[in-house]
Structure 1
């Protein structure tokens, strides 16, 4: 049976293949330490788990749920945006719960892209922006992010290159993989750029609470532009990656359009997951303070590891990773292979995020301090 033509433009996700290789090495007895994946190794808050378990007792827990989430979840999401981002969203039509924000990338793309439309994708950036665009037979147009420009797009240069047929632009701040934070002023300029050029700019925003005390949203406080949307997620902020709970915020017009796609793709999120998510979104600031204390401690050890490898990491990075430049005269890819096969240590090569990442490697903070110490010991040996 011949597969669809759309599959010719995409490959299996890098981590899908690489984790199989890591698993195979472990089956051979290799004690591989994984510092490559951004999957939180910590548990969600206990009160969130309790709320999820109590949700199992709800009279309608095992029935189909509303396509746009239960009202309690939408209210919790808008309350979360109001409290932490100072953004006032209408819970009825300006927020849409998702089964993870990765789902949202596909839904948004299916909602707005036709075959042949162009999509602006950051380089370096999250590979899913490119693969989803390819699956929908859109044309990917990479825009360069550079360390000398603080990993922010040059909007004037983009306009000079021409933006004909560009329909969507993906941005991701705080940025993965570099850990760069945007500013409120930059988001204002980006919104003006979107409206001037009639491009839908979507900020993918799952890292705004990790190693960051000033979370920002691209959304305007009062006015909801039809050219700006934002994805958010509970995966990183609350250690709920496997729960698959995310959200999409934007104008009522755009949310209604995306709902047309989503309602034909699933039959609602399991009620207990929604009940747990409600509790998570209502937690106090203390949760983030404790979480970031732990990540800060881990980060110090990872930076020591980076230094030992003669790599260079820029200061002030946020998020779950440390982005570091490989030593002069040594390719990042060869460094990654050397660490995996000689030191039983897996880190992520920067090339999977685009050409601009080819000289970099990414280290995850999703490992215990004991594991990071062991990794450091192996490298020093």
Structure 2
């Protein structure tokens, strides 16, 4: 027998990968499952993007290998986007690296900067991939707690009490998933100062900044220099293009080149028509986001009714495409989710999968039509 690599001993299969097998099995057996668990946009990408994609298919070079750094036009579109929406000036030649989704970026960044034995600050609750990838590259995860009492923001006083001598990288994610919390200028400035003081690379994962959020921010806006800061971004959520697998990394030329060394040894450039469509998306006016958010706001209102019917509590100022709710006392998030699935055939995400600080919470996705959410509400009163 050939044994698996020891690095896999500390990594589990992604929760949604396994749980959705159970959900599909229930559906195959005839159960009418309503899936409110996964944040995969059900709405269509902008029509202008689809047109650009189709037209690019006719380009004589469309089906050849593409540059590892992405096409010039796509990088320029990203630079324009950051300038127009975040007020951040980026050099499209040296400070932008297109990616096959931001999850790829998490892996590439970790491989580029982490050695075995290095430590990584990971938010709790937070995106499970931060911790999983850190373990895969042999680094140690050091969780820093976020809590409802502090608005799901870092507690710098507690962070300063830690031994940070081996910490090399810190993952942050604002607007936050799963909690919907937003970081303002002061928090980003504190993060940047904290990183400089302790020689820690701060990486902000920023795919949710336009969903139900009227003041999109980039941590790069508050960095005097970008030597200690990187930012991941993605078209998956903002433009309903999750299946396209298109993201980007922005930061200093030095750091971009380090990540590029990894990327060039692991994959190739993205399919040309995908980049052409993505460039069109990045040049759309703000009206696109306003119309999207009208839809998400109506859905959020319906999800709120569902959550209240389940005796869950939540704050109403959350951003992003989820609603983060506290379950009733006396029941775990996993038990609550399993009861909801078996009793009402409704699936939502349990908070514990995002870390110990997520226990006692569940996460509803807004990626289902209003009619589906209304149907879920009716099941509770049937």
TM-score interval w.r.t. the shorter chain?
A: over 0.9
**Alpha-carbon distance, 1:211 to partner:** 0.3
Q: 2:156 & 2:24 partners in 1: Cα distance?
A: 43
TM-score, L = length of structure 2: 0.99
Residue 348 of structure 1 and its aligned partner are, at CA, apart by 0.4
Measure, in 2, the Cα distance between the counterparts of 1:39 and 1:224.
Answer: 34
Runs of 4+ in 1 over 4 A off after TM superposition: none
Distance 1:266 1:139 in 2: 26
Aligned residues, how many?
Answer: 381
Q: Show the counterpart of 2:370.
A: 369
Task: Provide Cα deviations, 1:118-147, integer angstroms capped at 9, x if missing partner.
Answer: 000000000000100111111000000011
TM-score, with structure 1 as normaliser: 0.99
Matching residue of 2:104: 103
Distance in 1 between residues matched to 2:223 and 2:308, nearest whole Å: 45
2:200 maps to what in 1? 199
| Equivalent-residue separation in structure 2 for 1:272 and 1:185 (angstroms) | 40
Indicate the residue corresponding to 2:331 in structure 1: 330
The correspondence of residues 331-350 of structure 1 with structure 2, limited to 5 A, is 331-350=332-351
Q: Is the Cα–Cα contact under 8 Å of residues 99 and 244 in structure 1 kept in the other structure?
A: yes
Query: What's the offset of the Cα at 1:156?
Result: 2.3
| 1:218 and 2:188 are equivalent in the alignment | no
* CA deviations over 1:84-116 (Å, ceiling 9, x no partner): 000000000101100000000000000000011
Q: What corresponds to 2:170 in structure 1?
A: 169
Aligned to 1:291: 292
1:178 corresponds in structure 2 to 179
Partner Cα separation in structure 2 for residue 107 and residue 379 of structure 1: 44
Residues 87 and 221, structure 1, Cα contact 8 Å, conserved in 2 = no
Report the alpha carbon displacement of residue 335 of structure 1 after superposing the two structures with TM.
1.1
Work out the CA distance in 2 between the residues paired with 1:223 and 1:76: 23
1:1-381 to 2 correspondence within 5 Å?
Answer: 1-220=2-221, 223-381=224-382
**Where in structure 1 are there 5+ consecutive unaligned residues?**
none
- Distance in 2 between residues matched to 1:229 and 1:270, nearest whole Å: 25
Deviation at 1:273, TM superposition (A): 0.2
SS of residue paired to 1:195: helix
> Equivalents in 2 of 1:229, 1:156: separation in Å?
23
Aligned partner of residue 317 in structure 1, secondary structure: coil
Give the Cα separation in 2 of the matches to 1:214 and 1:181.
Answer: 10
- Distance between the aligned counterparts of 2:311 and 2:112, measured in 1? 46
SS in 2 for 1:284: coil
Residue 219 of structure 1 aligns to a residue whose secondary structure is: helix
Worse overlay, 156-165 or 28-37: 156-165
C-alpha separation between the residues in 2 aligned to 1:222 and 1:157? 23
CA deviations on 1:17-70 (whole Å, 9 max, x unpaired) are 011111110000001000000000011011101101111101100000000000
